[in-house]
Structure 1
Amino acid sequence: MPWQELRIETDSNRAEALSDALFDLSALAVSIEDATAGTADEKPIFGEPGEPVDQMWDHSVVVALFDEGIAPEFIVAAAANAIGLAQPKFTVSTVEEQDWVRLTQSQFDPIRISDRLWITPTWHEAPSGNAINIALDPGLAFGTGSHPTTRLCLKWLDRNIVGGETVLDYGCGSGILAIAARKLGAGATDGVDIDAQAMIASRQNAEQNGVQVDFYLPDAAPHREYDVVVANILTNPLKTLAPLLAGRVHAGGHIALSGILEEQAEEVMAIYGVWFNFLPPAAEEGWVCLSGTRKATE
């Protein structure tokens, strides 16, 4: 059975209210998009981890999916009237029925990190031979190996985990870095994230990969030092967390930081340089991974 997709133009102040009104009118799904996406006026919006996004696009499109047979003009008029909005511009298109699961799965292929390390969705056959494979499906938590920052951290772990190291993955998301560390031979490994959903995803992913990792919300995390600390988050939280993360690495231990744009690398290294001696940054697609060794305490 096909569906009808309504695309309704509005502004940032009305987009969420309009979405709620459409749900009240039995929309099957509603999303908000940038009306200028794909043009020179496209406007990215980001929120720091744990902080809400405090802005939306100036020009938005509310996209609503309805069963076949609804009267689009009535739906749009009723939703607009419910929030005191003049009749907005809208378009209607037909969405044919598809096998959405197979369509989604077809967009995610195995990801080669190195000669021996792969990330493979569970619906694909794992690489043969001596490859170390992380079975991971796209989900609610960040980190599937597709983003350059995740790949940079995985490559760093692949080069630097010798065996038996204690590891802390701070901002663990899906748990991919902690899981990779364990599969590469690390010893006791912990993961920390501010998102309770990440805890669920990480524990499920660790179980799926047959490795033991302990995951914590920040207030419950153990206060201990590690051989290796890896943090793939964003520059602003990395700057704020510098004393905390430095305090989790023992003298001679190693830190790897990512989620950093190339132009931000010097600033981050300057802050962490109080505690660490850094190697030259590793870069990929405009992002960097910074790695350093903890200075000896005096």
Structure 2
Amino acid sequence: MPSSAGGYSLPRAYPPHLSGAGNYRCTDPQPVSGWLQISVVVAQPAVKRAVEVMDGLGAIAVSRESTAVKEFFDEARSKDHEWDEEKITGLFAADTDLSVVCGHLKTVLGHQTTPCVQALPDRDWELAGQEQFKPIHIRDNLWVCPSWCQPEYPDAINLMIDPGLAFGSGTHPTTCLCLEHLTRLNLNGSTVLDWGCGSGIQALAALRLGASKAIGVDIDPIALDTSRNNAERNGVGSRLRLMFPEQVPSDLLCDVLIANIFAHTLIDLAPTLEQHLSRRGTLMLSGLLKGQAERVLSAFGSRYTFKAEQRDEWVLLIAVSGV
């Protein structure tokens, strides 16, 4: 919805003191609560320039997302995503001079660019985020519960896991599929290897379900720190070892191996994962879409007979070594 001044797109609920023609600066002498969200859709190679403009003009945060209807999760991408077209969004203080920000964006990106501006009310974002996460019943007596919630069934197995930077809060279909299958296994006295452990949720569940020890492996130090903290919170810190892939002993064998990671990574890691699974051990592979399953299966060869469990478009592949 272009405005009468500068071609900026303003929502109908925009504050009156910011919507006058040619006047995009906050005129209220009192501090203004809330934020301004300014977005532009740009094609490569202008993405980095748009990010630099917003960052240079004082954006508190800048996010990037693809405008494509469908994304492909099976491609290894560089840290610079290089999507063909992206939506760049900057979060600014409410008293930001819109004419400066939008003017610079149009100068750098071209006058055909139409920034979209939205006013966001101030709120307790920590509380708002917490409200989105409630206890999740996985199966039988296994629950995943954020620390700010009181477990609904105190006598159940409650994994206290807070959503964070490391993957694995119990909400994603692949996480749920893996956790559900763990409840079906007899884990008493077993050794479990969680490759790509993220938050450590799979390893922690295995330990709470009877495994004697677990090993969590990840390339991300934040994931390892998060797993360590979650293990302490759940009372299993002494039974969980955490390490980077290069630290895994070559002779390490496990009874259950879980790898909930991308399909192309599973394919690349197939020889390594097979090396660490004991004879008649259980192999659990997830993080892949239904259309990627055949390629993952072919990477592990005829030594395994797999069965598949599916939720939405996501798949868990399960096999027993040597059977």
Match of 2:256 in 1: 228
Quickly say closer, same or farther: Cα 1:12–1:207, change in 2 above 3 A: farther
TM-superposed deviation, 1:200: 1.5
* 1:175 is the counterpart of 2:207: no
Quick check: 253-262 or 180-189, which moved more? 253-262
Quick check: 240-249 or 15-24, which moved more? 15-24
Task: Give the gaps of 5 or more residues in structure 2.
Answer: 1-32
Task: Give the gaps of 5 or more residues in structure 1.
Answer: none
2: CA distance between counterparts of 1:271 and 1:80? 49
2: CA distance between counterparts of 1:265 and 1:44? 17
TM-superposed deviation, 1:45: 5.3
Match of 2:299 in 1: 271
Deviation by residue 1:181-217 (Cα, 9 ceiling, x = unmatched): 1111101210111122211211111111111311111
Match of 2:266 in 1: 238
Match of 2:313 in 1: 286
Match of 2:159 in 1: 134
Cα root mean square deviation, aligned: 2.0
Q: Is the 8 A contact 1:3 1:65 kept in 2?
A: yes
Structure whose CA Rg is larger: 2
Return the letter of the residue paired with 2:282: H
Q: 2:97 aligns with which of 63, 71, 86?
A: 71
TM-superposed deviation, 1:33: 2.9
2: CA distance between counterparts of 1:225 and 1:275? 17
Match of 1:189 in 2: 214
1: CA distance between counterparts of 2:41 and 2:106? 11
Match of 2:276 in 1: 248
1: CA distance between counterparts of 2:263 and 2:34? 44
Quickly say closer, same or farther: Cα 1:99–1:167, change in 2 above 3 A: same
* 1:86 is the counterpart of 2:100: no
Match of 1:105 in 2: 130
Deviation by residue 1:254-292 (Cα, 9 ceiling, x = unmatched): 1111112223333333332433233x2111112221111
* 1:219 is the counterpart of 2:228: no
Deviation by residue 1:105-147 (Cα, 9 ceiling, x = unmatched): 1111111110211111111111325311111111101111111
Deviation by residue 1:50-76 (Cα, 9 ceiling, x = unmatched): x52564443322211222222212122
Q: 2:182 aligns with which of 139, 142, 157?
A: 157
Quickly say closer, same or farther: Cα 1:9–1:234, change in 2 above 3 A: closer
TM-superposed deviation, 1:170: 0.6
TM-superposed deviation, 1:79: 4.7
* 1:6 is the counterpart of 2:38: yes
TM-superposed deviation, 1:233: 0.9
TM-superposed deviation, 1:46: 4.1
Alignment length, in residue pairs? 287
Secondary structure at 2:302's aligned position in 1?
Answer: coil
Match of 2:147 in 1: 122
1: CA distance between counterparts of 2:155 and 2:50? 53
* 1:61 is the counterpart of 2:81: no
1: CA distance between counterparts of 2:69 and 2:192? 39
Match of 2:288 in 1: 260
TM-superposed deviation, 1:47: 6.9
Q: Is the 8 A contact 1:246 1:275 kept in 2?
A: no
What TM-score, normalized to structure 1? 0.89
Secondary structure at 1:186's aligned position in 2?
Answer: coil
Secondary structure at 2:109's aligned position in 1?
Answer: coil
* 1:19 is the counterpart of 2:51: yes
Quickly say closer, same or farther: Cα 1:9–1:277, change in 2 above 3 A: closer
Q: 1:146 aligns with which of 142, 165, 171?
A: 171
* 1:29 is the counterpart of 2:61: yes
TM-superposed deviation, 1:26: 1.2
Quickly say closer, same or farther: Cα 1:112–1:69, change in 2 above 3 A: same
Quickly say closer, same or farther: Cα 1:141–1:272, change in 2 above 3 A: same
What TM-score, normalized to structure 2? 0.82
